[in-house]
Amino acid sequence: MKGPFGDAWDRLFAPAVAHRGLWSKSGPPENSLGAFEAACEAGYGIELDVQLSSDGEAMVFHDTKLERLTGAEGRLSDHTAADLGQLKLPGGEETIPTLAETLALVGHRAMVLIELKTPYGEVGPLEQRVHDIIIDHHGPLALIGFNPYSHAWYADRHPGILRGLDSYAYRGPDTARMAPEQRKSFARLEHVAIARPHFLALGLDMLPDARADKYRAEGMPVVAWTTRSPGEWDAVKGCCDNHIFEGFAA
């Protein structure tokens, strides 16, 4: 039965979603057109990351810095889309794609989860550019991301776009810049009230979770990330509706 978001709602539950596309060290690199094509051909959904170039284009790339995947120095946001489109990804001739190029390639063939990498205090430009692109895309998609204020931007302006709030246990060095009380609050999913999402995308480090179970019982699906073996999915699938995976055939 279709929910309020049509095919996007149905395809949130199945098939499983390939993390940064269907990539591997011996195949296409992560977040590349090749990885997205491979996911489409294998019948999976697609998760990808977007952030803005210096001239305001939505680029598909995970890291803040370019070095790990391109060997180039500096931050992605310091380079123009044209310059970024010339940088080679590992293993061949693939370059950093734009979101528009990616959605044109995928079309109706796969559900796409677009993770917005919006820094705190910078909500607006990325959200607007992504919206300008997705309004011309007729395939199933949803927006995800960790920044609850990014979600609030969409909830206030474009409530008809399916969205999922990313969260996890908020432990470790990547949370060092957050205030302790904010980390605890987000780990308790208290930022759901700010984000007003339609579903939750939760890290394995916080599953199972009684608060997530409550939201799920109230009609808010839970998608787990990132499973890297069948056993990891088996351990949480009783409290989840789907999963984002990598490194195995889901």
Give the pLDDT of the chain (250 residues) as one tens digit per residue.
455 788 999 999 999 999 999 999 999 999 999 999 999 999 999 999 999 999 999 999 999 999 999 999 999 999 999 999 999 999 889 999 999 999 999 999 999 999 999 999 999 999 999 999 999 999 999 999 999 999 999 999 999 999 999 999 999 888 988 999 999 999 999 999 999 999 999 999 999 999 999 999 999 999 999 999 999 999 999 999 999 999 999 9
Instruction: Tell me what pLDDT residue 115 has.
Output: 98
Catalytic residue among 19, 191, 198, 243: 19
pTM of the predicted protein model: 0.97
Instruction: Tell me what pLDDT residue 137 has.
Output: 95
| Ramachandran class of 23: left when φ > 0, alpha when ψ lies in -120 to 50, beta otherwise | beta
Q: Is 220 helix (H, G, I), strand (E, B) or coil?
A: coil
- Work out the angle at residue 31's Cα, subtended by the Cα atoms of residues 133 and 88, and round it to the nearest 5 degrees: 105
Residue of 109, 102, 164 whose CA lies nearest to 133: 102
Beta bridge partners of 50: 60, 116
Instruction: Tell me what pLDDT residue 174 has.
Output: 85
What does the alpha-carbon distance between residue 50 and residue 148 come to, in Å, rounded to a whole number?
A: 16
- Report CA-CA distances (Å) from 146 to 35, 157, 170, 246: 23, 18, 11, 20
DSSP per-residue letters across 198-210: SEEEEEGGG-S-H
- Report CA-CA distances (Å) from 49 to 1, 12, 19, 82, 126: 29, 17, 10, 18, 12
Reply yes or no on whether 137 is catalytic.
no
Handedness of CA 122, 123, 126, 129 (dihedral sign): negative
Instruction: Tell me what pLDDT residue 1 has.
Output: 40
What does the alpha-carbon distance between residue 246 and residue 107 come to, in Å, rounded to a whole number?
A: 22
Encoded tokens for 45: 């959904």
What does the alpha-carbon distance between residue 231 and residue 88 come to, in Å, rounded to a whole number?
A: 34
Contact assessment for residue 32 and residue 94, using Cβ atoms and an 8 Å cutoff: yes
Reply yes or no on whether 158 is catalytic.
no
Instruction: Tell me what pLDDT residue 92 has.
Output: 86
What does the alpha-carbon distance between residue 164 and residue 198 come to, in Å, rounded to a whole number?
A: 6
